[in-house]
Amino acid sequence: MSNLRIHEINIHMFEDNAGMETDYQTCLMLSNNSFHKGPWELKMRSMTNRVYVDDIEADDGIVDNDPFDTNQLATAARVGTSLRTATSVDSKQGVPGSRPRTSTGRPLTGMARPGTISQRPGSSMKSRTSLGTGSRSGSAKNIRLGSASMFVLGDPTGSLFQSSQLNPTRFVEKDSVSKQLFQFLYYHEGDIKKALDLCEAIIEHKKKGLSLMWWYAQRGRCYLALGKPRDAEPHLKISVVQLPHPDTALLLSRVYVKIDQPLAALKVISDCLEKLPNDVSLLTQQGRIFELMNNLQASARMYRHIAQLEPINTEALSCIAVHHFYGNQPEMALIYYRRILSMGAHSCELYCNLGLCCLYGGQLDLVLPCFQRALRLAITSEQRADVWYNVSFVALTSGDFNLAKRCLRLCISSDGSHGAALNNLAVLAMKSGHRDKAQSYFAAAKNVLADSDEVKHNQNLFEKRD
């Protein structure tokens, strides 16, 4: 009797999202009787919830020019049908011509999601740790992204079970536990192969039925996580035909993005949108795909639509802000960033963006307070480097070249391979007549950004002055 009451309390706690406390309580119960099914399920759920990451959000985008990528269909795709050729069609788009590009020529997006940050222009993420270069399969990242081994969470009872010794066929009949088990395996343990085995065993056992659509979707998810999008495609298709769930559609569209078929991805989303009109997650995915395809106008339109449906959607707001900023309307960007700020987001990047908007929008009294806050909030060395780099523009705009130099040096001291900062330092050295210094900075910038036109151009100009 008492057990049941605790259980109820636990469920109550669980729904209040107090995972830690639930854990503790279930541990107590399990230590009493390790074959107790209710607490076991509850513990799995609570542990999963503690580390749950919406892995659909953790979109890698695409890996450009990966020689080992055998998933893409056409090696020489027609313009407009591929993400790889998308970078070449942009010149006609005109308006946001000055939006910075990533190292592979893609326009910068407005929001850093896991996987997008590694492509910032001018920074050295790539060269320093070579994360995100094609030679890494990225599987470790996928597995670790949400798995508990990433967070060192103390577990008073030790691990719940050895997932490697789990026999999936034992759970095919137990409908109440199997889904929780899958999520536990997938999200908490990060054992995708085992999770996939479980999916397959259940699909094999049940053959038919509406309840299988969830399992097909999970099967696709597992394949996708294992980096086999072509295997995931049929399963997700079955699932989405049975029930057009946004998650499934998103997974399927991600499959198409991975195999470089953006038009098919858009088709999946728009089919699903017909059944589920104005679903924000689907619209967001559409916006992202448009952005990847370099169709910035369409992307901005989509994000505006999202912002109307859901005025607190941070991604939509920040993407619109970026669109305005690089469309030479910093004052409009400022409005959107302020809205994000008023929603309670206090991050170094946001303050940095606010500062830049104020600077270029002519709100001079607010520029430096924003940057001061950004500096205070900058924790990682990349953040520090970025903020100092941006502060150097304030210094340049106010004509204080010495301060600009100091800021850039601080940026470099945080991130030794910040190519843009090295380039700017070289230009400043050139302006103040320190030719030798400029020469060595140019050489360093060229080392970091080997194929940057800006550095090349500056260097040519520099050599021409001889």
In the window 272-301, what residues touch another protein (CB under 8 A)?
Answer: none
Number of Cβ atoms within 10 Å of the Cβ of 342: 9
What residues does 107 pair with on adjacent strands? 101
Distance CA 135, CA 408 (A): 32
Helix, strand or coil for residue 268?
helix
Q: Residues 336, 318: contact at Cβ < 8 Å?
A: yes
- Enumerate residues 425-454 that contact another protein by CB under 8 A: 434, 436-437, 439-441, 443-444, 447-448
460 is an interface residue for another protein by CB under 8 A: yes
**What residue type is assigned to position 402 of the chain?**
N
CB under 8 A: which stretch of 52-60, 256-264, 278-286, 359-367 binds another protein? 359-367
**Shortest distance (Å) from residue 357 CB to another protein:** 11
Q: Binding mask 123-162 vs another protein (x if CB under 8 A, - otherwise)?
A: -x--xxxxx---xxx-xxx-xx----xxxx----------
Distance CA 390, CA 359 (A): 10
**What residue type is assigned to position 6 of the chain?**
I
Number of Cβ atoms within 10 Å of the Cβ of 283: 21
- Enumerate residues 78-97 that contact another protein by CB under 8 A: 94-95, 97
391 is an interface residue for another protein by CB under 8 A: yes
Number of Cβ atoms within 10 Å of the Cβ of 17: 11
Q: Which of 15, 274, 365, 451 binds another protein (CB under 8 A)?
A: 365
Residue closer to another protein by CB (options 116, 180) is 116
Long-range contacts of 461-464 (CB under 8 A, 24+ apart): 462/426, 462/430, 462/438
Helix, strand or coil for residue 68?
coil
CA-wise closest residue to 134 among 71, 86, 178, 190:
71
Residue closer to another protein by CB (options 64, 331) is 331
What residues does 297 pair with on adjacent strands? none
**Shortest distance (Å) from residue 376 CB to another protein:** 10
**Shortest distance (Å) from residue 364 CB to another protein:** 4
**Shortest distance (Å) from residue 363 CB to another protein:** 6
Residue closer to another protein by CB (options 129, 308) is 129
Reported as half-sphere exposure (CB side, CA atoms, 13 A), residue 301 has a value of 5
Q: Residues 181, 198: contact at Cβ < 8 Å?
A: yes
56 is an interface residue for another protein by CB under 8 A: no
**Shortest distance (Å) from residue 202 CB to another protein:** 18
Residue closer to another protein by CB (options 102, 392) is 392
Q: Binding mask 225-264 vs another protein (x if CB under 8 A, - otherwise)?
A: -x-x------------------------------------
Calculate the alpha carbon distances from 43 to 27, 38, 463 in Å.
8, 9, 68
Q: Residues 285, 62: contact at Cβ < 8 Å?
A: no
Q: Binding mask 294-333 vs another protein (x if CB under 8 A, - otherwise)?
A: ---------------------------------xxx-xx-
112 is an interface residue for another protein by CB under 8 A: no
- Enumerate residues 160-199 that contact another protein by CB under 8 A: 164, 193, 196
Residue closer to another protein by CB (options 81, 363) is 363
**Shortest distance (Å) from residue 71 CB to another protein:** 14
